[in-house]
Structures are given as structure tokens and as C-alpha cells.
Amino acid sequence: MESAERMCVFRLIIGLMVVPFAVYLYFASGSAPIATPAPAMPFEKMLASKALHARLDREIPESVPISGDESNYAAGEQIYEDNCAVCHGLSGKAQTTIAKGMYPKPRTLLEGKGVTDDSAAENFLEGGGWHTDDG
Ligand code: HEC
């Protein structure tokens, strides 16, 4: 390899290393917005949404294992009241002291946008940890 070619390959390698190194510095220097009230990182919502929908496409069950009948709805309502309502609220009831004291705030699941308008599978995966708020 001639020295001009070698120089070209060297520059290419340096060029390819600049972007990952800049990304590393962004995180290592503490510039990434990671605090709970911080805005989303660049591309975070787009990437999280893509990952969520890719998983949903792969894992969404083809048949629902529980039938949507009155007794199952009533059982689910009871589970919600016993295990979730203290934080996520009940329609027409004031927020509990526990919910008021939490940070980040638990969403009111029975009202508003973000949960009641999501599919059951999406709520299941989001409840597992990643929120994209994209409906
Ligand atoms: C001790 C309080 C508490 C209880 C009890 C609780 N949650 Fe939550 N939940 C939270 C908080 C706080 C968040 C928001 C976390 C965040 O924003 O990072 C959350 C988030 C969620 C989300 C995601 C909502 C969104 O923003 O898209 C779902 C779904 C959810 N909870 C469902 C449930 C269900 C179902 C139950 C009962 C089986 C339950 N939670 C019980 C506090 C609670």
C-alpha cells in the first residue's frame, strides 16, 4: 500500500471513530438529559416507539387467553381497585395522599390520553418499563 492510500485509510478510520466517540462524550460528560423531569434525549421517542412496535408486532398474542365477559371485567375491576387505584385513581374520586406524594406522578389511568386509548398489549409492555406516549 502506498503512503497516500495508507493516509486515506487512516483518515477514514479516524472519521468513523468520531461519531461513536462524540456519543460517548455526550453520555460520559453528563450532557444527556437523564433526570426524571428532563426532556427526551434526541431521537429517544422515535427509537423507543420503533422498539415498542417491533416487539408488539412479534409478541402480540393471536388469541386472547381470557374472554371479555362480565365476570372477567368485574374481576379485573376488583384487581384494579385493590392493587392499582391507590396510585392511579378511580373516576370521580379525589387523588389519594399516596398518589399526591409520588414522583414521578402516577397517571390517572381511567381518564385522559395515553392509557385508555392504547391497546391492551401496548399498556402491558409500557407498564413493564418503557413509555413512548405515542398512542
Ligand atoms: C405505589 C403506586 C403504584 C401502584 C400501586 C401501581 N402503579 Fe402503575 N405506575 C405508578 C407510577 C408512579 C407510574 C409512572 C412511572 C413513570 O412515569 O416512570 C406508573 C405507571 C404505570 C403505567 C404506565 C402509564 C403510562 O404512562 O403509559 C401503567 C400502565 C401502570 N402503571 C399500571 C398499573 C397497574 C395495572 C397497577 C395495578 C396492578 C399499578 N400500575 C399499580 C405507580 C403505581
Cis status of the peptide bond prior to 104, with omega within 30 of 0: yes
Q: How far, in whole angstroms, is CA 25 from its chain's centroid?
A: 24
pLDDT confidence of residue 130:
43
Q: Residue 129: which pLDDT band, with cuts at 50, 70 and 90?
A: very low
How far is residue 9 from each of residues 6, 20, 21, measured CA to CA in Å? 5, 18, 18
Closest Cα to atom 22, ligand 1: which residue?
Answer: 127
- To test ligand 1's pocket by mutation, which of 44, 45, 88, 124 has the most ligand atoms within 8 angstroms of CB? 88
Q: Is the pLDDT of residue 76 over 80?
A: yes
- To test ligand 1's pocket by mutation, which of 80, 84, 122 has the most ligand atoms within 8 angstroms of CB? 84
Please report how the helices 44-59 and 120-127 are oriented relative to each other, as an axis angle in degrees rounded to 10: 120
